[in-house]
Amino acid sequence: MTVQKALTYDAFVELATADPAVVGLVLKGSQAHQGMTTEHSDHDLYVVLDDDRKTNLSRFAGHRTTELDLVIVSLEDFRGTAGMPGFDRYALARGKVVLDRLDGGIARILADKARLGADEAFQEADKWLDAYSNALYRSVKNARDGHALASRLDAADSIRFLFETLFALDRRPRPFNRYLEWELARFPLPGWDTAELLDAADSISATGEVSTQRGLFAQVEAVARRSGHGAVLDAWGEDLRLMRPQQEHDPRPKRSLHVDGQP
């Protein structure tokens, strides 16, 4: 009985490069993020096929092992949204081009995925800002009413929505949590001090500290209003008072982030 050897990354790249139907190969995940690989890292590879050519490589669709995961798509699907899960947008935005037979066309497609359209970004920012406000409001209200665990859980939820909001405001797809620090170290959010922002996110996720949440919300509110999202916040009406810093009821020192040069 013959034991079939597992397909390796290098062997597949060699096979795909020799096939004229393959117009692009894009590596994503930890292998595409310098310094993020571990002994457990596999190779996640997009295989982009010419729309008008046939290939036997289609037999590898869905191939998944501890060494190699393959996503095989047509060029048309790769350009658009069909066959392109939303959660993969960031991965492809920071993908590494292994093969580009389109004279830079594959790289240009990746660059397009790295930048949200103006209307798309505005709608996304509206949606996530409301979600962030909702989670923060619930956390602060639960803390007020003595529900400590619920407050911490809502606070942790709010951090996800916070980063969705901030990246949408910058017209960028939000990175997976694993790559958040990597991304911000190389591509900071304009106007935000990365170390202070991550420190506040860490504190809020771990403790749900109300004063820190309120201080951060004040910074986000200012940025959001300058970006034209005041209507989302105004819809909260009087509830905004509970979400904003309250010196008379919350005397502990608040963390302060620097945004656009303001303390």
Q: What is the pLDDT of residues 2-19, one digit of tens each?
A: 444 689 999 999 999 999
The answer as to whether 229 is a domain residue is yes
Q: Looking at 113, 129, 150, which one is the last position of a domain?
A: 113
Q: What is the pLDDT of residues 38-62, one digit of tens each?
A: 889 899 999 999 999 999 999 999 8
Cβ-count burial of 117 within 10 angstroms (0-12 exposed, 13-18 middle, 19+ buried)?
exposed
239 and 135 in a common domain: yes
Provide the mean pLDDT of the chain: 91
pLDDT band at 257 (very low <50, low <70, confident <90, very high): low
So what's the pLDDT on residue 263?
A: 42
As a whole number, mean pLDDT of residues 189-217 equals 97
| CA 27/CA 14 separation, integer angstroms | 14
As a whole number, mean pLDDT of residues 17-29 equals 96
Number of domains in the chain: 2
* Residues of the domain holding 235: 118-243
So what's the pLDDT on residue 63?
A: 93
What is the CATH classification number for the domain harbouring 16?
3.30.460.10
Closest CA to 34 of 183, 153, 227: 183
As a whole number, mean pLDDT of residues 172-180 equals 94
128 and 72 in a common domain: no
As a whole number, mean pLDDT of residues 161-171 equals 98
Asked whether 233 and 219 are in contact (CB, 8 A), the reply is no
126 and 109 in a common domain: no
In the chain, the amino acid numbered 236 is W
130 and 62 in a common domain: no
213 and 147 in a common domain: yes
153 and 108 in a common domain: no
So what's the pLDDT on residue 37?
A: 85
220 and 135 in a common domain: yes
For the cut 80, the answer to whether the pLDDT of residue 262 exceeds it is no
In the chain, the amino acid numbered 135 is A
The answer as to whether 262 is a domain residue is no
As a whole number, mean pLDDT of residues 229-252 equals 86
As a whole number, mean pLDDT of residues 57-74 equals 92
